[in-house]
Structure 1
Amino acid sequence: MKKFVTLFTESYRELKSVRTITTAAMFGAVAIVLSMFSINMGSYIRISFASLPNELVAYLFGPVVGGLFSGSMDVLKYLLKPMGAFFPGLTMVTILAGIMYGCMFYKKPITLSRVLVTKFLVMLVCNVILNTICLSILYGKGFMVLLPARALKNLVMWPIDSMIFYSMVRALDTMGVFKTIRKAQTAGTK
């Protein structure tokens, strides 16, 4: 339990750094650009890679920064490109996803198994269950009517999203991007 609390306090300290804010802002710009290229399959299913920056921010800065970043990006993306009605419940689910990614990735080695498990948990809890409940409330459709298509979409996207995130982290790590960001973070806190 102490490690879990420490995870949040260290992530909160990251939030106080100007370099964290500027790095998150750059990832935010990438997230906005990626969100403009989503594929809509009806009113209830959308395929997008805009969550990739959210996951990277959670990996770098932890659950507090990841949750705040995910929530603020959700609202900002909606303001820039409204699709459907705004529903605060969906933003809360996005914040929860950022927190979950931060808890699973922050200061931990990224392995394919860790990515697969984390993506599965986030997709099951946030995308399939909670988002479907929110969409059911928002559009007045039955939960069980929406669930099969959303579950199938997430089941198909699970290995694809996992491999994209894992490959991206490996590539950025190999290029030294994360080392540069972390070195700048530690230099800024001294």
Structure 2
Amino acid sequence: MNIKKCTTENIVFMGILLAVEIVIGKYLTISTIYLKIGFAFAPIALTAVLFGPVEAAVIASIADIIIALLNPFGYYPGFTVSAFLTGIIYGIAFYKKTPKMWRVVSAVIISKLAISVFLNSYWLYKLTGQAFLAVLLIRLIQNIIMIPIEILVIWFIIYPIAKLRNKMKEKNILVNNILLLNEYPADNLEYSCAATPQIRQTGNRLSGLAETAY
């Protein structure tokens, strides 16, 4: 986890995403021991886009543990491994990558087939003793339904939300830097040891705008 991303704002936002993930996973998901249909993937995908694979994997793992403890089926560590790997896959595919439909399709299909269908079917086989192929068939049907839904949600909802959040963050940084400019003499801004590169850059941009205006 990059220490530069551990700001108060980012930690709070990831906490919100974790809470949303738990609410969706617990109350807004059709869930039995063999299948699960819902939108709990959405907060993990958004975490992956905004913060990266490690953060997405951690949020997914914590959410899986909490949701499992709240459900009557109980906790099984194999599913936490699956959640962790899903976060890694999404983070590698989406973080700091130009949005491409083929990238979304590839990430969703890989995560669904490799993890949700095969790996989770194996966990269920170990947990329940049911025939592996029978469990695999049930999981395959579930994911045939969920794959196109997940692709569309990530493309049309998750990416726009991430773009909006990044724009708002950039505006907040610009406003904060403008306010901090008041602490430094305008003539000595370039040589001030206390001024950060971002503040100097903001000062230069404002100076350029002022010269253009005159």
Q: What TM-score does the superposition give when structure 1 sets the normalisation length?
A: 0.83
Assess, with a 3 A threshold, how the Cα gap between structure 1 residues 47 and 114 changes in structure 2: closer, same or farther: same
Give how far 1:143 is off: 1.1
Distance (whole Å) between structure 2 residues aligned to residue 22 and residue 69 of structure 1: 12
Question: Contact 1:63–1:99 (CA<8 Å) still a contact in 2?
Answer: yes
1:43 paired residue number: 33
Give how far 1:148 is off: 1.0
Give how far 1:58 is off: 1.1
Structure 1 counterpart of 2:140, one-letter code: A
Secondary structure at the counterpart of residue 28 of structure 2: coil
Distance (whole Å) between structure 2 residues aligned to residue 69 and residue 182 of structure 1: 24
Give how far 1:85 is off: 2.7
Structure 1: state its 5+ residue gaps.
1-10
2:106 paired residue number: 117
2:132 paired residue number: 143
Give how far 1:130 is off: 0.7
**Which entry has the higher C-alpha Rg, 1 or 2?**
2
Assess, with a 3 A threshold, how the Cα gap between structure 1 residues 44 and 22 changes in structure 2: closer, same or farther: same
Question: Contact 1:74–1:91 (CA<8 Å) still a contact in 2?
Answer: yes
Is residue 32 of structure 1 aligned with residue 9 of structure 2? Answer: no
Question: Contact 1:34–1:50 (CA<8 Å) still a contact in 2?
Answer: yes
Structure 2 counterpart of 1:121, one-letter code: I
Distance (whole Å) between structure 2 residues aligned to residue 39 and residue 107 of structure 1: 32
Give how far 1:19 is off: 2.2
Is residue 178 of structure 1 aligned with residue 166 of structure 2? Answer: yes
Task: Report percent identity of matched pairs.
Answer: 29
**Which has the bigger relative contact order, CA under 8 A and spacing at least 6?**
1
Distance (whole Å) between structure 2 residues aligned to residue 120 and residue 13 of structure 1: 31
Give how far 1:170 is off: 4.0
Tell which deviates more after alignment, 99-108 or 18-27: 18-27
Question: Contact 2:49–2:162 (CA<8 Å) still a contact in 1?
Answer: no
Q: How does 1:78-97 map to 2 (within 5 A)?
A: 78-79=68-69, 81-97=70-86
Q: What TM-score does the superposition give when structure 2 sets the normalisation length?
A: 0.74
Structure 2: state its 5+ residue gaps.
177-195, 199-214
Question: Contact 2:46–2:162 (CA<8 Å) still a contact in 1?
Answer: no
2:120 paired residue number: 131
Q: CA RMSD in A?
A: 2.4
Assess, with a 3 A threshold, how the Cα gap between structure 1 residues 170 and 44 changes in structure 2: closer, same or farther: same
Structure 1 counterpart of 2:116, one-letter code: N
Assess, with a 3 A threshold, how the Cα gap between structure 1 residues 154 and 117 changes in structure 2: closer, same or farther: same
Give how far 1:177 is off: 2.0
How many residues in Structure 1 have an aligned counterpart in Structure 2?
A: 177
Q: Deviations over 1:17-61 (max 9, x none)?
A: 332211101111221221211113x43011010121011101111
Question: Contact 2:50–2:162 (CA<8 Å) still a contact in 1?
Answer: no
Q: How does 1:98-109 map to 2 (within 5 A)?
A: 98-109=87-98
